[in-house]
Structure 1
Amino acid sequence: MSKSVPAKIQPSLLVWARETAGYSLEDAASKLHVSVDRLHAAESGTAMLTFHQLQLVAGVFKRPLALFFLSAPPPREASTHDFRLDREVAHHPPAPSVNIELRRARQRRDEALTLAREIEAVVPTFEAQASLHEDTESVAARVTQLLQVTDEQSRIWKTPEIAFKARKSAVESQGVLVFEASRVPTEQMRGAAIFFDQLPVIILNGADAPAGRSFTLMHELTHLLLRQGGICDLAPSEDITPDARIERFCNAVAAAVLMPANKILAMLGDRGARDWTLDELGLLAKPFCVSREAMLVRLITLGHASQRQYIALRSQFREEYQLFKLSQRQDGGGGPSPAVMAVKNLGRPFVRLVLDAYENDRIDLSTVSDYLGVKIRHLPRIRELAAGSMAEA
């Protein structure tokens, strides 16, 4: 088909696709390599994009091409509450990459429910709950019991990566879909939760360090216990707004789950409140596979460190995190295989549902490939990873 053939579509579909992706007119025009006037004319119906330009639109806004030939825009997706507190992003709309990941997560959950019905699998109801009026230590104790991670299991975790995978598997065993986003700046989102009675969703930022993902996982699980969803950056805040109060609650529960008070206090012995060196924080954090920053925040909660020291070290923690991200980008190893990335980003429960549907002749190989976002040649390895131990992917 010639690149100059006009695409005869409803202009309102262009507006709908751009706005639901979160692009301004100017940013969208830049992404599509057209002038702002040209895109505005197409959206207002005074001009038409070419078919080639429409293909670019579908790619940038992450929508199926066929959708643009509907007679009217579909209903807009439900909005997700924004709990981000960092002053650089608070009160600004989420980036398009965040909106697209939220949309994908909802779509994958819908697909999971459809596949479960196809193979007559039982979909559990997420019944665990919590209230902001509860003591965070008590909520954390219930979460620990819910996840059934024993002291014996946690003692064999040698690295934060292994610990994160075990914790993720424990959360997934409660009927939660845990997805990891691979192309979202951590400044825009550390995590998100989307609550449903069945198959609630947690989204983690896959670019985050394993220890960071463990903390975010428990933070977002707490949001689900509160029967709510939202986008989070886990930024510390002393604000008195309702959102800040909820975020502090979720952070406190997450910290208490990952760093139980009795274990911390046993390690501290008779050492009282004081300033801690970074090496000391590292030694305390290591058995729990958490970051030094998380450990310092926990010590503050337990009355063994000061908010003053945290404020003094906050910029250093940020600098170290930026160095970690830089080292990840400079790693010349080529990165994980498509099979590993598929299982990491989609989670074992979703992958297993897709594979079970195929093995029960409910979907074909082409559909499996579409669901998992990989070529068919990667399926044998995905099958191994989905069936293997949590340490493999």
Structure 2
Amino acid sequence: MVEALVNPNILAWARERAGFTVSKLAEKLKIKQEQVEAWETGNSKPTFRQAQIFANKTYVPFGYLFLKEPPHEELPIPDLRTIGDRPIGGFSLDLKDTIRSTFERLAWYKDFCREQDLPNLDWVGSVSVDNFELATTTAKRLLGGSIEQRPRQFHDYFKELISKIEVLGALVMRNSVVGNNTHRSLDRDEFRGFAIADDHAPVIFINATDTPQAQLFTLLHEFVHLLINESGVSDLSHRNENRIEKFCNRVAAEFLVPTDEFVKLWNIQHEDWRTNLPQLEQIFHVSQWVIARRALETGFISEQQYWDHYGKILDAFKKEKDKQKDKGSGPPFNRLINMRYSKKFATAVASEALSGRMLLRDAHHLIGVHPSKLKDFAKKELSF
């Protein structure tokens, strides 16, 4: 067997970057721990096949293993998550890879927009972070502010908002894993979403491991990021003191549940505050989670009451997910593509590939649909 002349220091860096201990990586590689240690000290070298597997398991390009120094990894998006008034600091590898792949898709889509002579989006960056009233009225103008005209069911309203935002020119992506790798689940506690502001192809990414109720708020929060032309990774905490995050939270909350109307309708006489939720859910056509968040923000309930309620919603969501896994149910893979990469993006990629203007393997790389199944996917999921 020919040895791969890899850099031992890079092997150690790649393992640590992936968050694996030596023993955990050895388990994944199905080799002895001593062998991994020997590779990292330079006392022995992996074969080319072993090095390829190593790169695959640690999520690095194979060529990285031969570098003299670890590459400098700086992501072009601000971290707006905080604990109190301090940034959390650091992204997990799963989040890093998700951001990188999103920027890769964004780069392709920007070229596509230019080739199609699509105009710049004048609503991106159209308001200032100092103008709450203008941001709220602009969001209502672009997305429809009439509560009475909202679909009565929360899920229908969520879908409608996504559709309207994509019609405006943005890409809305929702995913619970890194790409299509079901073994790499995103962490809801690490981030709720992120926005990439761009006047050709702005992106909203929503962490779909969060409850659907919370995802609606994330969608509006990240949309406000685009309105003020501010990219960033968000945690959406109502306790976040970052100026941009506070502003986006405030506008999103006001758009979904206007304060004046909410305060008038909240009945403080109820012995159990949760008795308000079903009625207000029907009036505002949003989830009970959003109503509970507004109750917290307006001082009608305590932090403890809010988190107890949210915990129950999250538990119910997890149980439902576990049931689906046990039954092997859930949407088919092709249907997930439109959610994970945006229907607008998938349509552009499929049209370019099927017209012969891009290679089928490149389309596969961007949206994960096998070349042999792309035509069928376009017909069934994109209505080609």
Instruction: Give TM-score, length-normalised by structure 2.
Output: 0.80
Residue in structure 2 matched with residue 94 of structure 1 by the alignment: 91
2:109 counterpart (87, 103, 112): 112
Residue in structure 2 matched with residue 254 of structure 1 by the alignment: 252
How far apart, in 2, do the equivalents of 1:273 and 1:251 lie? 28
Per the alignment, do residues 319 and 64 of structure 1 end up closer, same or farther by CA in structure 2, a change over 3 Å counting? same
Indicate if the aligned counterparts of 1:86 and 1:235 stay in contact, CA closer than 8 A: no
1:217 counterpart (203, 216, 219): 219
Residue in structure 2 matched with residue 171 of structure 1 by the alignment: 165
- Following TM superposition, by how much is the alpha carbon of 1:368 offset from its aligned partner in structure 2, in angstroms? 2.2
Q: Tell me the SS of whatever aligns to 1:23.
A: coil
Residue in structure 1 matched with residue 196 of structure 2 by the alignment: 194
How far apart, in 2, do the equivalents of 1:128 and 1:193 lie? 13
How far apart, in 2, do the equivalents of 1:173 and 1:123 lie? 13
Residue in structure 2 matched with residue 232 of structure 1 by the alignment: 234
How far apart, in 2, do the equivalents of 1:71 and 1:26 lie? 21
How far apart, in 1, do the equivalents of 2:210 and 2:118 lie? 33
Partner AA of 1:254 in structure 2: A
Per the alignment, do residues 148 and 39 of structure 1 end up closer, same or farther by CA in structure 2, a change over 3 Å counting? farther
Residue in structure 1 matched with residue 275 of structure 2 by the alignment: 279
- Following TM superposition, by how much is the alpha carbon of 1:261 offset from its aligned partner in structure 2, in angstroms? 4.2
Unaligned 5+ segments in structure 2 are 178-185
Alignment of 1:239-388 (within 5 A): 241=241, 243=242, 245-261=243-259, 264=262, 268=265, 277-299=273-295, 301=297, 303=298, 305-306=299-300, 308-331=301-324, 332-379=327-374, 380-387=376-383
How far apart, in 1, do the equivalents of 2:365 and 2:290 lie? 39
Structure 1 vs Structure 2: percent identity of aligned residues?
25
Partner deviation per Cα, 1:66-120 (whole Å, 9 max, x = no partner):
5656787666342533333468x97363322212211111111122224445x53
Partner AA of 1:224 in structure 2: L
- Following TM superposition, by how much is the alpha carbon of 1:253 offset from its aligned partner in structure 2, in angstroms? 0.9
- Following TM superposition, by how much is the alpha carbon of 1:28 offset from its aligned partner in structure 2, in angstroms? 7.3
How far apart, in 2, do the equivalents of 1:206 and 1:147 lie? 22
How far apart, in 1, do the equivalents of 2:153 and 2:328 lie? 20
Indicate if the aligned counterparts of 1:11 and 1:45 stay in contact, CA closer than 8 A: yes
Unaligned 5+ segments in structure 1 are 389-393
Q: Tell me the SS of whatever aligns to 1:180.
A: strand
Q: Tell me the SS of whatever aligns to 2:90.
A: coil
Partner deviation per Cα, 1:174-228 (whole Å, 9 max, x = no partner):
3322222222121122111233343222210122232211100111122233332
- Following TM superposition, by how much is the alpha carbon of 1:167 offset from its aligned partner in structure 2, in angstroms? 1.0
- Following TM superposition, by how much is the alpha carbon of 1:38 offset from its aligned partner in structure 2, in angstroms? 5.5
- Following TM superposition, by how much is the alpha carbon of 1:18 offset from its aligned partner in structure 2, in angstroms? 5.5
After superposition, the CA RMSD in angstroms is: 3.5
How far apart, in 1, do the equivalents of 2:80 and 2:269 lie? 31
Indicate if the aligned counterparts of 1:7 and 1:54 stay in contact, CA closer than 8 A: yes
1:134 counterpart (112, 127, 131): 131
Partner AA of 1:230 in structure 2: G
Residue in structure 2 matched with residue 143 of structure 1 by the alignment: 139
Partner AA of 2:159 in structure 1: K
Partner AA of 1:326 in structure 2: K
How far apart, in 2, do the equivalents of 1:122 and 1:23 lie? 42
Per the alignment, do residues 246 and 227 of structure 1 end up closer, same or farther by CA in structure 2, a change over 3 Å counting? same
Per the alignment, do residues 14 and 275 of structure 1 end up closer, same or farther by CA in structure 2, a change over 3 Å counting? farther
- Following TM superposition, by how much is the alpha carbon of 1:172 offset from its aligned partner in structure 2, in angstroms? 2.1
Indicate if the aligned counterparts of 1:342 and 1:372 stay in contact, CA closer than 8 A: yes
How far apart, in 2, do the equivalents of 1:222 and 1:83 lie? 14
How far apart, in 1, do the equivalents of 2:44 and 2:55 lie? 18
Indicate if the aligned counterparts of 1:190 and 1:232 stay in contact, CA closer than 8 A: yes
Residue in structure 2 matched with residue 391 of structure 1 by the alignment: none
Instruction: Give TM-score, length-normalised by structure 1.
Output: 0.79
How far apart, in 1, do the equivalents of 2:245 and 2:175 lie? 21
Indicate if the aligned counterparts of 2:135 and 2:227 stay in contact, CA closer than 8 A: no
Indicate if the aligned counterparts of 2:129 and 2:247 stay in contact, CA closer than 8 A: yes
Residue in structure 1 matched with residue 183 of structure 2 by the alignment: none
Number of aligned positions between the proteins: 370
